Amino acid sequence: MMAQLLVIREQLKNFYGRFENYCKPALKFILSLITLLMINGKIGYSSVLTNVAVALIIALLSSFLPMNFIVVVDAIIILMQLYALSLESVVVVGVLLLLMFLLYFRFASKDTVLLLFTPLCFALKIPYVIPLAAGLISTPAAVVSAGCGAVVYYVLSYISDNASTLTSMGAEEMLVRFRFLIDAIVYNKEMLMVVAAFSVTIICVYLIRRLSVDHAWTIAIVTGALMNILIILIGDLKFNTYISIVGLIMGSIAGVLIVIVLKFFVFNVDYSRTEMVQFEDDEYYYYVKAVPKNSVSVTDKKVKKIKGQNKETSSSDATARRNSTMEKSEGDVPEYRVRRLATKAGGRRNDSTINGSNKNGTKRIILSDEEIGKDGIVPTTSRSSRPEHRVDSNGLTGIERAAAAKAKAEREERNKKGE
C-alpha cells in the first residue's frame, strides 16, 4: 500500500514538473476565484461585484500576475463591497488592511498562500489546520500571515452579522458607527485569543520539527494540536467566549489528518535507515545525521506486441528476401574467374568462387561441382538459375568464357601429351 502511494506521489510530482507552466496559472486562477466567491458570499453588498462573470474575469487576470497581486485585488474588492454598505466601514477596514499590509510585506511577503488560505479554512470550519501546516512548512514569520488572515475573517464576519445595525443608524450617528466598528476589532476577545493560540502553536511546531530526533514532524503535529486546544480552552475559561468544545476537538482532529497528508508529500523519510556521519576539516569536526527519503523510481512501461508466425513461412520469406538481394547486388558483375570445387584429404574444402570486380567492389558467388561440370563448362541449366550477366561480342558470358578457356587449355595439354 505504501509503495503504491509513493508511486502516486512521484507521478504527481513528475506531472507537475512536466506541466508546471500550465499548472501554476491554473492553481492561481482557482485560488483567486474561490477567495472572490467567499468575499462576495460574506459581504456581497454590491450587485456588480457579486456577478460571477466579473469574478471570473478578475480571477483570470490574477492567474497571469504574481501571487501578491491576488492579495491586493482581494483587499480592493473588500473595500468596494463595504463602500456599498457604509463609508465608515470602508475607512475602518481600510486602515486595518493598510496596517496589516505593512506587517505582511515587511516580514512575510512569501507566505501569500497561507494568508489566503486562513480565511478559507475558517469558512470551511477547519481553521486549526493553519497553525500546524504553517509551523511545518514555513518559518516563525508565518505568525504574521496567519494572524492577518484570522483578523480579516473575524472583521468581515462581524460586519456581515451586524450589517442591519450599521444601515439603521442615521447620517448624524457617524461617530457612533466608527466607535461600533473600532470596538468590534479591539475588544473582540475570541479573535485575539485565536490569534494568540495560532502564534504560539506555529512557533512550537516549528521548533519541534527542527529537532534531530526521530519522527520529529509527527511529534510536532501532535504537540501542536494539543497545545492549540489547551490555549483556546484556557482563553475560553478566562474570557467567556463560549467556544464549542466539540467543534474545537473535531476541528483539531481534521487538522491533524490533513497535515499528515501534507507531511506525506513534503517530508516522508525512512528512520530505519538512519546513518550517523562524522568528518572534519582544518577548523571543525562535523557530526551529521543522515535520514534517507522514501522514494520509488517510476518508469514508463511500454508493451511491445510480437506476433507469432509459422517457421516454414518465415524461413521461405527469408530465403526469398536473400535471393532477391543477391539478384540486385550481382546483376551488374561483368567478368568472372571459375575454380572447380575440390575436396582434399582431412575434410578441408576449397570453395570454387566466381569473382567479379565493378565500381562497388568484388562480388563472390559459390558454385558446386554439379553447376560447373566435369570439363569445367557451366551447363545451360545452371546458367538459367543464375542471374543474367554481361556478354561479349560473341554472346558469351564471363563464366562461359572462363570455362571455355579452361577446356581449351586442357585439350591442348592432352594433345601435347599424345604427340
Q: Residues of 206-222 as b/e, b for ≥16 C-beta within 10 angstroms?
A: bebbeeeeeebbeebbe
pTM above 0.85, yes or no: no
> What's the one-letter identity of residue 385?
S
Q: What is the pLDDT of residue 147?
A: 93
pLDDT digits (tens, 9 = 90+) for 200-248: 999 999 999 999 888 999 999 999 999 999 999 999 998 888 888 999 9
pLDDT digits (tens, 9 = 90+) for 333-377: 444 444 444 443 444 444 444 444 444 444 444 444 555 554 544
Question: What would the DSSP string read from start to end of 145-184?
Answer: HHHHHHHHHHHHHHHHHTHHHHHHS-GGGHHHHHHHHHHH
Task: Check if the beta carbon of residue 64 is closer than 8 Å to that of residue 99.
Answer: no
Q: What is the pLDDT of residue 341?
A: 40
Q: Residues of 233-258 as b/e, b for ≥16 C-beta within 10 angstroms?
A: eebbeeeebeeeeeebeebbebbbeb
Q: What is the pLDDT of residue 191?
A: 92
* C-alpha cell belonging to residue 203: 512557533
Residues of the chain with pLDDT under 70: 170-172, 297-400, 418-419
> What's the one-letter identity of residue 349?
R
> What's the one-letter identity of residue 124?
L
Q: What is the pLDDT of residue 363?
A: 42
Q: What is the pLDDT of residue 233?
A: 93
Q: What is the pLDDT of residue 365?
A: 47
The CA distances from residue 337 to 224, 369, 396, in Å, are 97, 15, 14
CA atoms within 13 A on the CB side of 231: 22
The CA distances from residue 216 to 127, 206, 213, 219, 268, in Å, are 23, 10, 6, 5, 12
Element (DSSP H or E) covering residue 137: helix 129-137
Element (DSSP H or E) covering residue 224: helix 216-239
* C-alpha cell belonging to residue 312: 516454414
Q: What is the pLDDT of residue 75?
A: 93
